[in-house]
Amino acid sequence: MSLPSSVAGFTVLPISYPGSSNTSTHYIYARAHTGSKKANTSKTTLPDSRTLFLVNVPPDATDRELVLLFKSSGTVERVVFDLDADGKEGVGGQDDEEEDDEGSELSDDADANTANAEEERDADMQQQPRKRRKLDKKPKPPQVTPLPTKPLRALRPTGRTAHLVFLDASSLERALAPQKKNRVWPSSSSTSTSTSESVEKELSGLARYTALYDSLRPPLDSVRAHADSAMEVFEYELAQTRREAGRYKKGEAIVDEDGFTLVTRGGVYGQTVGGGVGVASKVFQAEMAEGGKGKNKKGRRGREGKEKEGFYAFQKAERQRNDLLELKKNWEADKAKIEKLKASRKFKPY
């Protein structure tokens, strides 16, 4: 057992699966989570002191299984999959969140990396408190009736990450402490797990595919309920945006959080909404977008075009000469090409 107990600062957690004929070991790399300075939103959701960062989570792991795996170390508050992978790609995604607070659904999206309905709900849980606080003053928005779901394993690409938030900071140390024996992966698809007797088992393999097939084809009435309610939500949100837009039209300057005024067309006399600053015309903008000095260039070319070609004898002679040179150049190029092919014995038909 000369396996290193840690790799690049990560503790190696060997995991073995029970019941399989294959006695191989899976390795999860774990470390205490340290929030990056840039993404301050994740700091709030993932407290440094009690978050465990896991790398190389098995592709078929469910959060319940991870919770059970670390049960001996402490109670897990929640599991977030793949936050890092998306966080890196989607730096802009978080900007969205700030910008679109007015009610566009984009903010949901940044976190909607989850693959099944169960996790969507999970993600909603994170969002709900904030949202509700904001919307408290307004009438309660309609809710989407979810489609009936079964707990189905989501399969993620291999080698991804997960964050485990413990309830208690001390659990973190316990989780990272080296263990003599391999941890045994708890399987929520086997009925033997005592704690999850009440919950439906999470299927895998053929049974999962069959269940998935059926769950993707829900009864028609629930489809109807879902679609209708979703449309209701949409109508509601549309109405919200309209109200915002109405205010915007009236000429109320839009001021963002940092106190800057957004300069935008729509005010009177070619000025910004709310007045004060002039706004460039659309035509001007389009021209600028096309590439700056377009107009000037065109003018000069036009004048050049008027110059006569083949007027002077030297022009004619020059053109002829150039044509000949061009001809010869092509010929030489062809020749070189053939020589090259010849070298590779390409011309022996048999």
Partner 1 sequence: MALNLKRKRDGDVTPRKTRKLSEDDLDAVSDVEEDESEVDAGEDDEWGGIEMAQNMTAPVAESTGPGTKPKLPPSGEELRVIKDASSLFKSSTFKLQVDALLPTVRPKAARIPPLDRFLQTLHGVLTNLPSVAPQHPLEAARKLIKKGVSVPFCLPQPLEDTNWKVAFEKPSDITMVGSWPNKISVKAKDGCKFGIDLAVEMPSDLFQEKDYLNGRFFHKRAFYLATLAEAIQNSKSLNVELTYQSASNDPRLTKLVLEPRNDETHDDFTKLNARVCIVPVLPANSRIPLQRLSPSHSNIRISADGDFASIPTPLYNSALLMALIPRAHLLSAFTLNEHTPSFGDALTLLRVWANQRGYGEGSRLCVRGFDSLGSFWTVLLGLLVFGEESVNKAKRKPLGRGLSSYQLFRAALDFLSRHDFEKTAAFHKANQGHRFPPEEYEAHHEAVLVDSSSTLNVLAGVPIGSLQLLRTDARKTLEELNATSVANDLFSNVFLQDKRDLLTRFDTVIRVDISSAQPRSSSLHSTLDTGSPANALISSITALLREGLGNRVNALAILHSSPSTRPLSQALPTSPNVLYIGLIHDPQNALRLVDHGPAAEESDPSIAEHFREFWGDKAELRRFKDGRIIESVVWDIKSADERSRVPAMIVRHVLQRHFNLDATAVQSWQSGFDQVTKLPEAVSRVYMGSGVAVGFKGAMVAFDSLVKALKALNEQLPLSLAVVSPISEQLRYASVFSPVPLSESLAQSLPQNARYLPSMEMILQFEKSAKWPDELRAIQKIKLAFFERIAMALMSSVKGLKARVVVGDGVTTSKIQDVSRLDIVTPEGWAFSARIWHDREATLLDRLITGKGALPHINFPSQKKKGKANQEAVDAKEVYLRRFIHAPRHHRAITALNHRFSAYSPTVRLVKRWLASHWVLHGHISEEVVEILCASAFVGDGSDLHLEPDSGFIERSGVPGSKERGFASVVQFLKDWKWEEGLFVPLYGPESAAGDPLPASNNSRSGVWKISTEVDREGNVWTVHGPDAMVANRVRALAKATWDYLQNMEEGELDVKAIFIHPTDDYDFVVRLDPSALPRYAQNIDSSLAIGGRYMNPREDPDESLRPEFDPARSLYDDLQRIYTNTFKIFCDPFGGDRFGVVWDPSLRQPRPFRVLGGFSSTPVKKQKETEKDKGLVVLNEAGILCEIERLGAGLVRELTVQV
Please tell me the distance from the alpha carbon of residue 324 to that of residue 313, in angstroms, as a whole number: 17
Q: Candidates 63-71, 162-170, 293-301, 321-329: pick the segment binding partner 1 (CB under 8 A).
A: 321-329
Is the CB of residue 252 less than 8 Å from the CB of residue 274?
yes
Closest approach of Cβ 255 to partner 1, in Å?
16
Which of 38, 48, 59, 102 binds partner 1 (CB under 8 A)? It is: 59
- Determine if 125 is a binding residue for partner 1 (CB under 8 A): no
- Determine if 7 is a binding residue for partner 1 (CB under 8 A): yes
Residue 134 or 328: the one with the smaller Cβ distance to partner 1 is 328
CB atoms within 10 A of CB 194: 6
Which of 39, 60, 182, 183 binds partner 1 (CB under 8 A)? It is: 60
- Determine if 282 is a binding residue for partner 1 (CB under 8 A): yes
Please tell me the distance from the alpha carbon of residue 175 to that of residue 31, in angstroms, as a whole number: 9
Interface positions, 227-266, toward partner 1 (CB under 8 A):
227-228, 230-231, 234, 238, 264-265
Closest approach of Cβ 8 to partner 1, in Å?
4
Beta strands in the chain (DSSP E): 6-7, 10-16, 25-32, 51-57, 76-81, 160-166, 183-184
Could you tell me which residues come within 8 angstroms of residue 119 by beta carbon, excluding any fewer than 6 positions away?
Answer: 63, 81, 154
Which of 188, 204, 267, 274 binds partner 1 (CB under 8 A)? It is: 204
- Determine if 12 is a binding residue for partner 1 (CB under 8 A): yes
- Determine if 86 is a binding residue for partner 1 (CB under 8 A): yes
Is the CB of residue 166 less than 8 Å from the CB of residue 73?
yes
- Determine if 348 is a binding residue for partner 1 (CB under 8 A): yes
- Burial category of 311 from C-beta neighbours within 10 Å (exposed 0-12, middle 13-18, buried 19 and up): exposed
- Determine if 42 is a binding residue for partner 1 (CB under 8 A): no
Closest approach of Cβ 347 to partner 1, in Å?
4
Structure tokens at 16: 């073995």
Is the CB of residue 249 less than 8 Å from the CB of residue 242?
no
Length of the chain equals: 350
Which of 89, 304, 307, 309 binds partner 1 (CB under 8 A)? It is: 89
Q: Is 24 left (phi over 0), alpha (psi -120 to 50) or beta?
A: beta
Q: Candidates 33-41, 42-50, 153-161, 253-261: pick the segment binding partner 1 (CB under 8 A).
A: 153-161
Please work out the total of residues on this chain that contact partner 1, with binding judged by CB under 8 A: 94
